[in-house]
Amino acid sequence: MKNYHLGFISDNDIFQHVKHTVLKYRFQINLADFNSNLIDPIKLTFDAKVYKKDINDVIDSEVIRQLDKSNTNHIGYFHQNIFNYMGEGWIVPNEGYDIIHSAKKIYVEMKNKHNTMNSSSSQKTYMRMLHTLLQDAEATCLLVEVIAANSQNIPWRASLDKKSMSDERIRRVSIDKFYEMVTGDALAFKKLCTALPTIIEDVVKESTLAEKTNTVIDELQAIDENLLKSIYLLSFKKYEGFHDFTL
């Protein structure tokens, strides 16, 4: 086992955690997968015509977008579940908060980007944390952001019913400051980012990854040689008049 010189997590643990993440990556997609998110033919038509792109290219772009969305979720798994291996007493529960430390009474909600929560979800999260404080006045609730606006550990100022609220026990924390909180090492997150490309390369070298397969175009052509027509028939075939739809 190569030495990654992280200190706050063992070489084997970080290797295995990266491996679990890599093996979750999505390599295959078929038409059923492609349409599981309910493809919008109108959107694809606009994309093709406005950008003057071939419909094959537009469909390929949508395939890549869907695969990327799945893989983004797996990166969320990586960020959250690494804390099963770091620090003393930190756990990733099966439900509820993303990360907790029962002895220290710390409850963590983790988000990938600071701007991913709309006002409704932000209020819901804040109210959940307020409820936690009502249950235990000694608790601390953290909104940990992987990509935050700043390196920070500050009270989270939220708006509830158009009123600004703040409590020292409810905090917004950037991922680097949270790593420091967990490990005691202010540079822990930077060290992980430095080592990560090498760890991923090592995992990929020793892993058997799935073959890349994409049958979406072939399956659409089986419906009709006109791919744009196939997309419309895929989504609207039960609508009035689409039994003889032509383009």
Alpha carbons 117 and 126: distance in angstroms, whole number = 11
Digitized pLDDT (tens) for each residue of the chain, 247 residues in all: 789 999 999 999 999 999 999 999 999 999 999 999 889 999 999 999 999 999 999 999 999 999 999 999 999 999 999 999 998 999 999 999 999 999 999 999 999 886 667 788 889 999 999 999 999 999 999 999 999 999 999 999 988 777 888 999 999 999 999 999 999 999 999 999 999 999 999 999 999 888 899 999 999 999 999 999 999 999 998 999 998 888 8
Map out the domains of the chain as residue ranges.
11-82+207-244, 89-183
Angle between helix 41-50 and helix 227-236 axes, rounded to 10 deg: 160
Q: Which pLDDT belongs to residue 114? A: 66
Q: Which pLDDT belongs to residue 158? A: 85
Q: Which pLDDT belongs to residue 60? A: 94
DSSP 85-127: SSSSSEE--SSSSSEEETTTTEEEEEEEETT---HHHHHHHHH
Alpha carbons 180 and 187: distance in angstroms, whole number = 7
Q: Which pLDDT belongs to residue 115? A: 65
Alpha carbons 188 and 178: distance in angstroms, whole number = 10
Helix/strand/coil for 151: coil
Q: Which pLDDT belongs to residue 29? A: 95
Q: Structure tokens of 226?
A: 């006109």
Alpha carbons 68 and 25: distance in angstroms, whole number = 9
DSSP letter (8 states) at residue 200: H
Total Cβ atoms within 10 A of residue 194: 13
